[in-house]
Amino acid sequence: MNELTKKAYETWKNADLADEALVKEMASIANDDEAINDRFYKELAFGTGGLRGVLGVGSNRMNIYTVGKASRGLANYINSIAENPKLAISYDSRNNSDVFARRAASIFAGAGIKVYIWKELMPTPALSFAVRELGCDGGIMVTASHNPAKYNGYKVYGADGCQIANEAADRILDEINSVDTFSDYELVDFEEGLKSGIIEYISEDTFNAFMDAVSTQTFIGDDIDKNVKIAYTPLYGTGLRCVTTCLKKNGFTNIEIVKEQATPNGDFPTCPYPNPEIREALEVGLNVAKEVGADILIATDPDCDRVGIAIKQGDDFRLFSGNEVGVLLTDFIAKRKVAMGVMPEKPVVVKTIVTTDLVNRVADDYGIETRDVLTGFKYIGDQIANLEKDGEVDRYLLGFEESYGYLSGSYVRDKDAVNGAYLIAQMFAYYKSENKSLLDVLNGLYEKYGYYLNTLYSFEFEGESGMKKMDEIMNKFRNNTPKDIAGIKILEVRDYETSTQTILGTGEKKEIDLPKSNVIKYMLDGNSCAVLRPSGTEPKLKLYLAISSENEASARELESKIANDIKKSLA
């Protein structure tokens, strides 16, 4: 334990902590150097994703003091850019989310900022919508998205309803670093703030406007039977009211709620990792779907910005990946816009650099431009903003990322699982009216374009030593480019940290016109690729593989070889 860590620990130990749980935790770690080091060796990192960390005591934990320090820094920044500043706040079902939301509101109010806060837990897209609808200068969403129960977090949004960009994050971080954790901010009592009007609950009018905005994304008519049986689980999170209200408002009334996962619960008792990407999280919902005879299960994560689905296949259900759903939605929306006579000129689909290239093939057939952006939905939001700035926002059809995030409208600037659930319900009903399952449609696309297999591996690196290990691994790949992976020739390397694209055969270098990011992408012979990037929200190194082949069997065989070869270098 170094001197800075010791000093941070002593400061917290001598502080008059108002939270009894934090006091108990401080006492419990008194003789545990490793536990002390993990909690105090650094400040909880703040970046374009805001804050995210394990709940608990210390400068490297989520608690009312780290939230308070970040909020005071954000307040200073907002006051520097706005004359009559306003901020919106929402929060999810995680442990202490409501506590952190109120703490932030009290600090913003203490800094003279008008606060609009949802009276009940609300999804991330509802926060993005409220920022724009209420003319706010920014907003925060208290959530750790789909992370395990021990986490919480704090996303920061700009006036455009998009998560903050690098420049704003840097300026906010400077302000945070200038704030003392325990003494540099004034608190307005939350209830007193409501009485004085400096804090105000967001009205039902805004909720209804959000529902109306999502409902504009309608691609089927009343000739399609909407009485399809849908099982839905909010995974103990914020999605229940918004998703069911939207679906019922638009004719989808035959919905079976997974009651065991309907009530908000930050411990996520039946799915300790509340991620709609994984089967373990959906097992309870799948059992309900089987019991009631539903052909589809729709699941949203705790802050309802990601949506996953499972489709009945024989006696069981098949989970669809985010890539598969994104490709299906691209094809469906394009097909329906053409049929409805509303396809815009020069339409645009936006995806991330780790998202399947199959969408490019589908988009090309419809004459749709595909734009690749860095990982993070804020970069998709930036593309929407650019189109809007040019008076061409109607060109935007869909933005999506492989991690189950979708958005087909411009009314918010973040992924929206309310919108995603509505799109999926429409697509499901449309193809059912043609006696097709979504699996039939997907297999049809594979037959037409070839099989595309996308897989993701996550490797955990906890604590200070883990962060160093991830840096070492990335530097090793960055500085020692192999000629091949599992015998598959590397054609080019795209290093987004140095903004350099290198053609290995010729040594030719080109500049990548995207913001810098710690990502390395290998383009392989045979139209496959591998991507390495540290997670921006968890202590994980992520490996994305995209394999193109004639059929599933050959794709999986090739994927296994490539994955095993790269894993050897991660040891």
* Residues acting as catalytic residues: 145
Other CB atoms within 10 Å distance of the CB of residue 388: 15
Residue ranges of E strands in 230-345: 230-233, 255-257, 296-300, 307-313, 316-320
Q: 178: Cβ–Cβ under 8 A, 6 or more apart, which residues?
A: 73, 76
Q: Phi and psi of 390, rounded to 5°?
A: -90, 5
Helix axes 417-433, 239-249, angle to 10 degrees: 40
Q: CA 501, CA 415: separation in Å to the nearest integer?
A: 29
- HEC per residue, 477-505: HHHCCCCEECCEEEEEEEECCCCEEEECC
CA distance from start to end of the chain? 26
Q: What is Dmax (Cα atoms) for the chain?
A: 71
Q: Name the CA radius of gyration of the chain, rounded.
A: 24
36 and 1 in contact (C-beta within 8 Å)? yes
How many CB atoms are closer than 10 A to CB 60? 22
CA distances from 136 to 147, 168, 267 (A): 28, 16, 32
Contacts of 397 (CB under 8 A, 6+ apart): 330, 333, 334, 337, 344, 347, 348, 349, 368, 408
Among 47, 54, 40, residue whose Cα is nearest residue 8: 40
* DSSP tag of 396: E
CA 335 to CA 436: how far, in whole Å? 15
For residue 334, give the H/E element and its range.
Answer: helix 322-340
CB 90 within 8 A of CB 118: yes
Instruction: Residue count of the chain, please give it.
Output: 571
Backbone angles phi, psi at 155, to 5 degrees: -90, 140
Closest CA to 518 of 475, 464, 564: 475
CA distance 118 to 141: 10
Q: Is the torsion defined by CA of 420, 422, 428, 433 positive or negative?
A: negative
Structure tokens given for 256: 């079976």
Q: How far apart are the C-alpha atoms of 40 and 5, rounded to whole Å?
A: 5
Are 267 and 94 a contacting pair, CB within 8 Å?
Answer: no
